[in-house]
Amino acid sequence: MKKQIAIIGLEMHCELKSNSKVFSPACNNYAEVPNSNIAPLDMAFPGTLPTVNKKSVADALKMSIALNCEQPDYLIFDRKNYYYPDLPKGYQITQMASPIGIKGKIEIEVNDKLVPVYIHDIHLEEDSASLDHYFDTSTIDYNRSGVPLLELVTEPCLHSAEEAVAFLEYMRDVYKYCDVSEADTKKGQIRCDVNVSIMDEDATTLGTRVEIKNVNSFKGVYDTINYEIKRQTELKEAGRYNEVEQETRRWDEESMTTIHMRSKVDAIDYKYFVEPNIPKFKITPEWLESLKKEIPRLHLERKYDYINNYGLSSYDAGVLVKEKAISDYFEECLKIGIDAKTACNWITTQILGYLNKENKTINEFNFTPNKLKELTDLIKNNTISSKQAKDIFNEVVINNKEIKDFINNDNAQVNDRDALIQIIDEIINNSPNQVEAYQNGKTNLFDYFVGQVMKNTKGKANPVLTKEILNEKLGK
Ligand code: ADP
Ligand code: MG
């Protein structure tokens, strides 16, 4: 059999942040109590009419711009007609003929290489209600009904589970950077349909695709794709490729397999038509221009900036841009004159270490970039050692102390050369055996001497100066 390549297309759904729902005034917020965030429209009461949430449209347009899509001249919604208990109106308001974005293209990073991803379209629609199934009953919760949902459809242009997950992670970060969604898979805010086919390496037409619906985690997407590629390849190897039919399957977490749901010949005809209760609405170039200005510099651009212009490693730059608030903090540090590597070291070790341990975000953090500047300046001008700086950092962060409280004669760093020489002479005189061993080649004893100096000065000796004097005295 010829070498096979996999073709993957994704449909990614993401719930948008907003105060009210996309077509009703009900609150759009996760609620523990079922049917507490609802308005009559969400349950399709007769006589209710939709009003479009302008913020959701603006957020959808922002994403359309961020994905380099073309935007339509008019905002137009369509009705997608089907019946299901979680869809009380009997239709979903979505966009079919004139989506909010088409023909987009972005680049994502996969294993340190840039890979292009083509966007077929991105459109705004309403989420359905949710059903919970019990032993002999099912319940319905309308809280989710009408939550603004952005659906992004890629071209069949991805080639592996790694690429697909890298794309989803990239998009999750874009949603978060633009602050249009929390994009939290654990809260069900991101859900994917995954389309997979295989074909001969040199084939010119695509193979038969299988659609796997509603995969709710990135790990699920990864496993689904690898399972499906393997299943289809094995059938093809066995000469049974005709058994790969165009069908909808679902991912079963327990058995780690995909399971047949329905065949595409049973596909529903949705009888789309323009939603008559929402007048079309002009999307002006001025509006688009002002939305464009609200899109922040995205993470990959920032990452390459940090690598190319500030000399950071790809790994460190990646850690800094993972969250916009952290990256903003880092950029604020640069702006006030902290050296990039110094800022990066403090953020990736001390600051993130503390935040992760305390499960806090950087917005709930009292150690501002200005304080970091104050502290790192004190190290730079030798007032304190970096060890002392770390202790002071902890005192400020945990006990809400002021940096200046720690800068007094008691704990200022010992920078006095003569004082250090005196201490070091004494240590050398008291350690003849160690000196002899050191000079006979046991060079790791150097740390012993440094340790003695630190012990003697309660950790306050200037480490650079200490090493310099020790080298002079002991002979290199
Ligand atoms: P549907 O309405 O049935 O979901 P679409 O034409 O909208 O069908 O396609 C949905 C997704 O399927 C898109 O993401 C697209 O990239 C993907 N797709 C289409 N053909 C293939 C194929 N041969 N292999 C893999 N994915 C495909
Ligand atoms: Mg589909």
**H helix intervals, 257-385:** 285-293, 299-310, 314-321, 324-335, 340-345, 352-358, 369-380
What is the DSSP pairing of strand 190-200 with strand 4-15? antiparallel
Which numbered atom of ligand 1 lies nearest the CA of 154? 14
Ligand 1 site, residue 154, Cβ cutoff 6 A: yes
Could you say which ligand is closest to the alpha carbon of residue 210?
1
Percent of the chain topping pLDDT 90: 74
Query: What is the CA(359)–ligand 2 centre distance, in A?
Result: 38
Residues 6+ apart with CB under 8 A from 375: 389, 392, 393, 403
CA angle 152/67/71 to nearest 5° reads: 85
Span 404-431, pLDDT tens digits: 877 765 566 777 788 888 889 889 988 8
DSSP symbols for 61-121: HHHHHHTTPBPPSEE--EEEE--BTTBTTSEEEE-SSS-SEEEEEEEEEETTEEEEEEEEE
Which ligand approaches the C-alpha of residue 209 most closely?
A: 1
Instruction: Assign 184 to helix, strand or coil.
Output: coil
Ligand 1 pocket member 155 (CB < 6 A): yes
What is the per-residue pLDDT across 370-398, written as a single tens digit (0 to 9) for each?
A: 999 999 998 988 888 888 899 899 989 98
Domains of the chain (ranges plus CATH)? 4-289 (no CATH), 297-406 (no CATH), 417-474 (1.10.10.410)
How much is the pLDDT for 407?
Answer: 74
Query: Rounded CA gap, 109 and 115, in Å?
Result: 6
d(CA 97, CA 95): 6
Decide if pLDDT at 259 tops 70: yes
Nearest ligand 1 atom, CA 195: 26
Nearest to 417 by CA among 443, 382, 446, 448: 382
Ligand 2 centroid, distance to 153 Cα (angstroms): 8
Residue 372 to residues 51, 205, 408: CA-CA distances in angstroms?
Answer: 48, 58, 19
Q: How far apart are CA 144 and CA 147, in angstroms?
A: 5
- Whether ligand 1 lies within 6 angstroms of the CB of 153 is answered as yes
CA of residue 194 to ligand 1 center, whole Å = 9
| Ligand 1 site-directed mutation target among 95, 103, 122, 153, most atoms within 8 Å of CB | 153
Under DSSP, the state recorded for 443 is: G
Residue 264 CA: nearest ligand 1 atom is 3
Task: Give one word for 266, left, alpha or beta, with left for phi > 0 and alpha for psi -120 to 50.
Answer: alpha
**Which pLDDT score, from 0 to 100, does residue 399 have?**
84
Read off the tokens for 211.
């659609």
Distances (CA, A) of 262 to 53, 250, 259: 35, 10, 10
| Ligand 1 touching residue 11 (CB < 6 A) | yes
CA 476 – CA 204 distance, rounded (Å): 70
| Residue of the CA atom closest to atom 5 of ligand 1 | 153
Position 49 scores a pLDDT of 97
pLDDT, one tens digit per residue, over 273-292 is 999 999 999 999 999 999 99
Span 324-359, pLDDT tens digits = 999 999 999 999 999 999 999 999 999 999 999 999
* pTM of the predicted structure, to 2 decimals: 0.84
For residue 351, give the amino acid letter.
I
Does ligand 1 lie within 6 Å of residue 143's CB atom? no
Residue 264 has pLDDT above 80, yes or no: no
Q: Which atom of ligand 1 is nearest to the CA of 10?
A: 14
Residue 373 CA, distance from chain mean position? 28
- Residue 75 CA to ligand 2 centre (angstroms): 22
Q: Which residue's CA lies nearest to atom 22 of ligand 1? A: 209
